Amino acid sequence: MASRRTAAIARSLSTGLAGRRVFCNHQARNPWREAIRAISTSPAPNPGASDASAGGSGSRKRTFNVTKADAQPTISKHHKITFDDKRVSVPWEEGKTSTFQHIWLRDHCQCATCMHPQTKQRQLDTFSIPLNIRPSLVEPRDDGLYIEWWGDHQSQYTWEWLHRHSYAPRLEKYISVQRKLWGQEVANDLPTVKYDDVMASDAGVAEWTSKIETYGFCFVDGVPVTPEATEEVVQRIAHIRHTHYGGFWDFTADLKMKDMAYTNLALPAHTDTTYFTEPCGLQMFHLLEFEGTGGESLLVDGFRAARMLRDEKPESFRTLSTVRIPTHASGNEEVSIEPYTPFPVFNHHPVTGELVQVRWNNEDRATMDRWADLEDVEKFYQAIYDWNEVLKRSDGEFRQQLEPGKALIFDNWRVLHGRGAFTGHRRMCGAYIARDDFHSRLRLTNYGREEILMGL
Ligand SMILES: C[N+](C)(C)CCCC[C@H](N)C(=O)O
Ligand SMILES: O=C(O)CCC(=O)C(=O)O
């Protein structure tokens, strides 16, 4: 774990070359090796099943890999809690012993004077704690560990909190997101929720956000065919993320904004806003009006496609995990947006190595004029040709003509979207939601605030 973490930290540090527009494939230590096993694909519940009633807000328990499947935060009946001049040792019934340094425990005191009871922020002045602080009393009690500190402060830590935050050793590890990767067959059982459920309760939002996390997209059935109702339903997840396109958009092929989305041209599978340091997290589309031909929508599961590229063309997967691609949005005269640094197509979690984000928009790719060496140019083009070939496979494409009343929302960090060329009048509305705002709502509605606060 330490070497992997070191490699990941080394890689994440080396990607932070601020100021220089570097996109050459710096020789980080095998980031793609960590990604090899990290595109999590786990069985997920049946997408069609509506569990708004059963789901309920806060009903899902977060799953953790504890040392034993049934490990409970129960202290050992046979071994005593001890402490020396540096640390407290807590032996658990599961056979592990956690060590907590005194300074760490004091700094993490959960009492109402150290942790603001409403804002959940630390109000203790950490730097007022003597670095050599130690307890005058350590006492196990039914509801947790009670400590009296020199300088007469008292702290109490529940057993569940100590077990959850044990760091030496880590007792509870988070299991990867249980995603279901899909191809064309997803059309047979589309992840869908009911507008009324979403508007009526947080349980409905829990079901909706859970399906977006699992499948990378979800339809909302029964949305009134107005921009107002569409704006209202997307805000059931979070506030809208504003960009130079505005907040909530209602657009047609009038080139009102100088972007090809505002034309009737075909758009190949892409992710949006690759020119922002943080691409938008979710994107909603609701077709309001259409009299014409063509214009069908396309979705491709970028995580499934990435796994296929990794398995079939590992060198191309590695290239697209390391070569940084400059991007821009400069069609509108008052705007020219670039990220603070270019990013690769495949972006991995700096610690777990898991694939967390696909950034791919060939239309918004800027000039690539900085290469570590010449053959990287051919390697890059080979890699994007291989990637494009995978994206274009019909068994990975979900194509559907959107219809009024059925809004589509998708994870722009995972799912690529596109559309066919069209003729006639076509009016579409929708909005972006930032990734962290989506994750906040997903976790709170599915696990409940108490569970989330316990883990912070
Ligand atoms: C705002 N609205 C969704 C209508 C258009 C956005 C244009 C997105 C741009 N082509 C990109 O790929 O980021
Ligand atoms: O008009 C559509 O269906 C999609 C437009 C699009 O791809 C975008 O706005 O990024």
| CATH (domain of 269) | 3.60.130.10
Q: What is the pLDDT of residues 370-428, one digit of tens each?
A: 998 899 999 999 999 999 999 999 999 999 999 999 999 999 999 999 999 999 999 99
CB 227 within 8 Å of CB 429: yes
Q: Range with the lowest mean pLDDT among 4-8, 175-179, 435-439?
A: 4-8
In angstroms, the CA 443 to CA 456 distance is: 12
Q: Are residues 374 and 226 in the same domain?
A: yes
Q: Are residues 139 and 199 in the same domain?
A: no
- DSSP conformation class of 122: B
Q: Which ligand has its closest atom nearest to the C-alpha of 259?
A: 1
- DSSP conformation class of 380: H
Q: Are residues 189 and 169 in the same domain?
A: no
Q: What per-residue confidence (pLDDT) applies to 43?
A: 34
Cα(284) to centroid(ligand 2), Å: 10
Average pLDDT of the residues in 118-134: 96
76 within domain boundaries = yes
Q: Which domain holds residue 298?
A: 184-446
Which residue, of 177, 209, 238, is where some domain finishes? Answer: 177
262 within domain boundaries = yes
Q: Are residues 170 and 219 in the same domain?
A: no
∠ CA 384-324-409, nearest 5°, is 70
Q: What per-residue confidence (pLDDT) applies to 59?
A: 57
Ligand 1 binding pocket mutation candidate from 234, 258, 273 (most atoms within 8 A of CB): 273
Q: Are residues 250 and 378 in the same domain?
A: yes
- CA terminus-to-terminus distance, the chain: 22
Q: Are residues 78 and 224 in the same domain?
A: no
CB 285 within 8 Å of CB 297: yes
Cα(421) to centroid(ligand 1), Å: 16
Cα(320) to centroid(ligand 1), Å: 23
133 within domain boundaries = yes
Predicted confidence band of residue 39 (pLDDT cuts 50, 70, 90): low
3 within domain boundaries = no
2 within domain boundaries = no
248 within domain boundaries = yes
Q: Are residues 299 and 160 in the same domain?
A: no
pLDDT greater than 50 at residue 35: no
pLDDT greater than 50 at residue 19: no
Question: Is the reported ipTM for this assembly greater than 0.90?
Answer: yes
Q: Which ligand has its closest atom nearest to the C-alpha of 273?
A: 1
285 CB-near residues (< 8 Å, 6+ apart)? 297, 402, 407, 408, 409, 417, 428, 429, 430
Tell me how many domains the chain contains: 2
Q: What per-residue confidence (pLDDT) applies to 172?
A: 78
Predicted confidence band of residue 62 (pLDDT cuts 50, 70, 90): low
Cα(272) to centroid(ligand 1), Å: 6
Round the CA-based radius of gyration of the chain to a whole number and report it. 25
Quote the crossing angle between the two packed helices 314-322 and 302-312, to the nearest 10°: 120
Cα(149) to centroid(ligand 2), Å: 60
Q: What percent of the chain has pLDDT over 90?
A: 80
Q: Are residues 99 and 238 in the same domain?
A: no
Average pLDDT of the residues in 189-198: 98
Cα(260) to centroid(ligand 1), Å: 8
Q: In ligand 2, which atom is closest to the CA atom of 259?
A: 9
- Tell me if the bond preceding 169 is cis, omega within 30° of 0: yes
Q: What is the pLDDT of residues 262-314, one digit of tens each?
A: 999 999 999 999 999 999 999 999 999 999 999 999 999 999 999 999 999 99
Cα(152) to centroid(ligand 2), Å: 62
Q: Are residues 26 and 130 in the same domain?
A: yes
Average pLDDT of the residues in 183-204: 98
Which residue, of 156, 177, 198, is where some domain finishes? Answer: 177
Residue scoring higher pLDDT (456 or 6): 456
399 within domain boundaries = yes
Q: Are residues 206 and 342 in the same domain?
A: yes
Q: What is the pLDDT of residues 331-365, one digit of tens each?
A: 999 999 999 999 999 999 998 899 999 999 999 99
Helix ranges restricted to H, 300-374: 302-312, 314-322
In angstroms, the CA 39 to CA 358 distance is: 12
pLDDT greater than 80 at residue 369: yes
Q: Are residues 263 and 356 in the same domain?
A: yes
Which residue, of 177, 202, 224, is where some domain finishes? Answer: 177
Percent helix, strand and coil across the chain, each rounded to 5?
30, 25, 45
CB 328 within 8 Å of CB 338: yes
42 CB-near residues (< 8 Å, 6+ apart)? 176, 178, 179, 180
Average pLDDT of the residues in 433-444: 98
Beta bridge partners of 425: 291
Q: What per-residue confidence (pLDDT) applies to 152?
A: 84
Q: Which ligand has its closest atom nearest to the C-alpha of 428?
A: 2
CB 430 within 8 Å of CB 283: yes
pLDDT greater than 50 at residue 42: no
Q: In ligand 2, which atom is closest to the CA atom of 426?
A: 1
Residue with CA closest to ligand 2 atom 2: 419
81 within domain boundaries = yes
pLDDT greater than 90 at residue 162: yes
Q: Are residues 129 and 250 in the same domain?
A: no
Chain-centroid distance, C-alpha 429? 24
Q: What per-residue confidence (pLDDT) applies to 61?
A: 57
Cα(47) to centroid(ligand 1), Å: 28
CB 148 within 8 Å of CB 102: no
- In 3-state terms, what secondary structure has residue 61? coil
Q: What is the CATH number of the domain that holds 26?
A: 3.30.2020.30
Q: Which ligand has its closest atom nearest to the C-alpha of 250?
A: 1
Q: Residues enclosing ligand 1, CB less than 6 A?
A: 245, 249, 251, 259, 261, 270, 272-273, 361, 364
> Which of 275, 280, 371 shows the shortest CA–CA distance to 319?
371
Residue with CA closest to ligand 2 atom 3: 419
pLDDT greater than 50 at residue 23: no
